[in-house]
Structure 1
Amino acid sequence: MTSKIMAILKKQKRVILYCAALMPIILTSGCADLNYTQNPNFYYINSEKNFSKIGKVVIVELDNMSAYPQISTDVTKSLFQAVQKMQAFSLEVIAKNDPKWKSLQLKSSNDKYDINQLYAIRKTLKCDAIIVGTITNYSPYPHMSIGIRLKLIDLADGKLLWAVEQVWDTADNNTEYRIKKYFKRKMRPDSAALEEHKLINVSPIKFVKFITYEIAETLKFVK
């Protein structure tokens, strides 16, 4: 009888060890989706600043380092729409060829503005802060990718309030997953709409909407 009990216990031990060996595989496969997240380090928020004092923000048309002139207009427009939905502050857009912006005679959005320039921008645009930035690269094929650098500058003292720097590439599995998740959540709940995320590989406009959505989401705690 004792030998039978020992045999049963040994068999149970083998089963337990087998299940324990499988557990990491099960957990990894079951939680794979959790690994597909946006890099939390792609944006910065100045926690020492009081955002409630920022009433109006002007988005300046983005600089463009790519070979595609239209992309700066498309991204700027989409960024305005996405950030506006966050209702963090009053928002306007100004083009680089706008007479008001040209009158300021600023060389680049990458420059650090001095106190006189900050005052001139604030007085001319009648705002508390500006969003300036650059499209660092853009490629529509063989797969779409875009690099964007943005910063929100307090015109009262020139300090950085918020910044974003990231490259989105549809060839990246993480990015592809987030794109699919975005369109499933945003589109109509019918099968045709749920397949719209496949158009991301051929539709720059949809790709840009996804990117600016992710950018705007970083401002959701700014109220």
Structure 2
Amino acid sequence: MLGKGITFDSGGLDIKNAAGMSTMKGDMAGGASVIAAMQAIARLKPKINVTVIVPATENMPSGTAQRPGDVVRAMNGKTIEIDNTDAEGRLVLADAMSYARSVGLNRLVDVATLTGAMSVALGDQCMGAFGNDDEFTQQVVSAANSVGDRAWPLPMFDEYKSQYSSDIADIKNTGGRGAGSITGALIIGEFNDGAPWVHLDIAGMARARGSSGATVKGATGVPVRTLVQLVCDLAG
């Protein structure tokens, strides 16, 4: 399990406006959720090996901040053109995925408050699920729906990849406005080295505007229950 851990996301040099930045201390919700899930899994002791990786950093403007037009090299050697410094989550997850594969992890779930486009597509009632293996993706979606987190699979057609092609690097770190959640997921997927993988975009569900039932106002903890249920299901 991999969780995006951007402890504060200003947007970097492509800085967010004040309203967009006000909740960005919560851009580490993916990282927090996988840590919390591991705490529960450790108590339940299912008979399965589980590893958690949280790539953690801040995204801030400074004299040494990355700039639009920079080219960076991921852990696996793939080069990435920085098209927008506010698309930083996929960069840290690229290295987390590469590291996970380098240590032999062969079934991956990443969790991230990745895209505002996810909130536009599904609002705050459902998280998006993106994967490269239909059976594994359905296992994750079923786990989410069984515990009330709700997940919905979105398409991952290869034709979307042309949106983040680059003239100077292997890929760009954004694919433009259209299908932003899908291209964000596909960019992360460039680093899974063929392993079964599911990306959960929790941007719309990570924070609740009010209390309702078991959900309290503020950070929701989604998808802790999903991850715990998935691990228990895989352990049989």
TM-score tier (shorter): 0.3 to 0.5
Q: Which one has the largest radius of gyration? A: 1
TM-score when normalising by structure 1: 0.36
TM-score when normalising by structure 2: 0.34
